[in-house]
């Protein structure tokens, strides 16, 4: 779901819930990691099955309130941690039978309507876009980064064709006034040569800023790598994406580790598999027409999953190098 658009739905729906449950098969028991707990939709459904345990994580501290209520009913089977999913290795797992790791990279209606988060271009006041455990805000980026850096953020994270003009006009405006949400939307409107009446003019820039502020590219890459390490043989790694860049990263990660020899040369030779993952379905699973009608923001969702073929911890992947350009752009934030 594009977090910059206020959806018509008034509550959060866990996207592709039936399809995900069918893939991860919690009826057989085991421990599952919900990397984007949010409103708890996936976790609640998994815990409905006996002999299941869920370790849920979320960078948004607001999710802890929902987690605490859930824990009242599932104290022995549910754990919540307020961490980013790139920090999965911090869970210090011992002998847990990790059967599935699930990511939903969208945002809930609750997050979007929260004026303090400033995710929507319909909001007013300070630019924020911090989803938790951040080091800088969108306001910092807009008012401090140079023109070329802003242009690259808009171009590569938002696929914004007018990135150069928008960045240039931001620099001009901020020399006179500090830029907030309303003034940024006005700058974008004035900078766009072609008006799109189906999609708000600010959609791509707001998406780009959200990705940049939350370092969503490196978070996803290292979240995938760490998830693959903690999964047991036969475990499922599944990801729901909502934009083409996210889907491109997930697709590359799964494809490269299911086609090439991906086990590290330092791993034991005994029973060593040629590839880390098995892809039983190469095309993504998308929402049904019925789901899109009930929950319009789900229309851009794509669910990809892979099955781990081996218990080995070490494997080689070039996914970080493949998307190095995006990570380098994210690193502009280090000076803020």
CA angle centred on 75, ends 71 and 79, rounded to 5°: 70
Query: Per-residue pLDDT for 269 more than 90?
Result: no
Question: Helices in 192-307 by DSSP H: which ranges?
Answer: 203-213, 216-230, 244-259, 289-294
pLDDT surpasses 80 at 296: yes
- Listing DSSP states for 46-90 in one string gives HHTSTTEEEEEE-S-TTHHHHHHHHHHH-TTTEEEE-S-GGGGGG
Question: Tokens 């802890």 map to which residue?
Answer: 64
Check residue 32 and give its pLDDT. Answer: 98
Q: CATH says 115-214 is which class?
A: mainly alpha
Residue 201 has pLDDT above 80, yes or no: yes
Higher per-residue confidence, 12 vs 256: 256
SS3 99: strand
Q: What is the pLDDT of residue 11?
A: 65
3-class secondary-structure state, position 210: helix
What's residue 261's pLDDT? Answer: 60
**Of 227 and 119, more confident:** 227
Mean pLDDT of all residues belonging to the chain = 91
- Parts of the chain belonging to CATH 1.10.150.170: 115-214
- pLDDT of res. 120: 85
* pLDDT tens digits, 42-91: 999 999 999 999 999 999 999 999 999 999 999 999 999 999 999 998 89
Residue 153 has pLDDT above 80, yes or no: yes
CA gap 127, 319 in Å, rounded:
31
Tokens of 241: 């994406």
Instruction: Please give the structure tokens belonging to residue 67.
Output: 């987690």
pLDDT at 16 over 90: yes
Helix (H) or strand (E) holding 130: none
pLDDT tops 90 at residue 222: yes
Q: Please give the average per-residue pLDDT across 82-111, as a whole number.
A: 90
Average pLDDT of 21-43?
97
Average pLDDT over residues 18-37: 97
pLDDT at 268: 56
Q: For residue 324, what pLDDT band results from cuts at 50, 70 and 90?
A: very high
pLDDT at position 270, please?
47
For residue 149, pLDDT over 50 is answered with yes
- Where in the chain do CATH 3.40.50.150 domains reside? 17-110+216-313
Whole-number Å distance between alpha carbons of 119 and 112: 6
Give the E-state strand segments of 192-246 in sequence order. Answer: 236-241
Judged against a pLDDT cut of 80, whether residue 264 lies above it is answered with no
Residue 17: both structure tokens together: 């819930």
CB 204 within 8 A of CB 172: no
173/180 Cα distance (integer angstroms): 11
Confidence of residue 6 (pLDDT cuts 50, 70, 90): very low
Task: Say yes or no to pLDDT of 184 above 90.
Answer: yes
Class of domain 17-110+216-313: alpha beta
Of 3-17, 85-99, 159-173, 284-298, least confident by mean pLDDT is: 3-17
CA distance 308 to 299: 28
């Amino acid at each position: 779901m594009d977090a910059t658009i206020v959806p018509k739905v008034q509550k959060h729906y866990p996207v592709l819930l039936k399809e995900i449950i069918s893939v991860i098969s919690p009826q057989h028991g085991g421990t599952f990691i919900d990397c984007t707990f949010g409103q708890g939709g996936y976790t609640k459904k998994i815990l409905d099955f006996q002999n299941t345990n869920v370790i849920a994580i979320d960078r948004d501290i607001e999710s802890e309130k929902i987690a605490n209520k859930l824990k009242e009913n599932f104290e022995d089977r549910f754990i919540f941690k307020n961490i980013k999913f790139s920090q999965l290795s911090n869970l210090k797992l011992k002998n847990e039978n990790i059967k599935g790791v699930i990511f939903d990279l969208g945002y809930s209606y609750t997050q979007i309507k929260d004026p303090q988060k400033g995710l929507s271009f319909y909001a007013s006041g300070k630019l924020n876009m911090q989803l938790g455990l951040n080091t800088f805000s969108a306001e910092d980026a807009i008012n401090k980064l140079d023109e070329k850096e802003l242009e690259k953020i808009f171009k590569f994270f938002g696929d914004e064709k007018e990135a150069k003009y928008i960045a240039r006009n931001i620099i001009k405006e901020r020399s006179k006034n500090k830029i907030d949400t309303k003034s940024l939307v006005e700058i974008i409107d004035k900078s766009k040569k072609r008006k799109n009446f189906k999609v708000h003019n600010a959609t791509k820039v707001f998406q780009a800023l959200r990705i940049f502020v939350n370092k969503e590219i490196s978070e996803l890459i290292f979240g995938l790598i760490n998830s693959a390490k903690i999964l047991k043989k036969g475990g499922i790694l599944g990801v729901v994406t909502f934009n083409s860049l996210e889907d491109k990263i997930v697709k590359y990660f799964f494809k490269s580790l299911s086609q090439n020899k991906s086990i590290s040369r330092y791993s034991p030779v005994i029973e060593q598999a040629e590839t880390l993952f098995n892809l039983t379905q190469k095309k993504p699973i998308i929402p049904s027409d019925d789901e899109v009608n009930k929950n319009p923001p789900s229309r851009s969702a794509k669910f990809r999953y892979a099955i781990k073929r081996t218990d080995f911890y070490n494997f080689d992947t070039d996914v970080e190098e493949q998307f190095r350009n995006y990570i380098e752009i994210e690193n502009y934030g280090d000076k803020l």
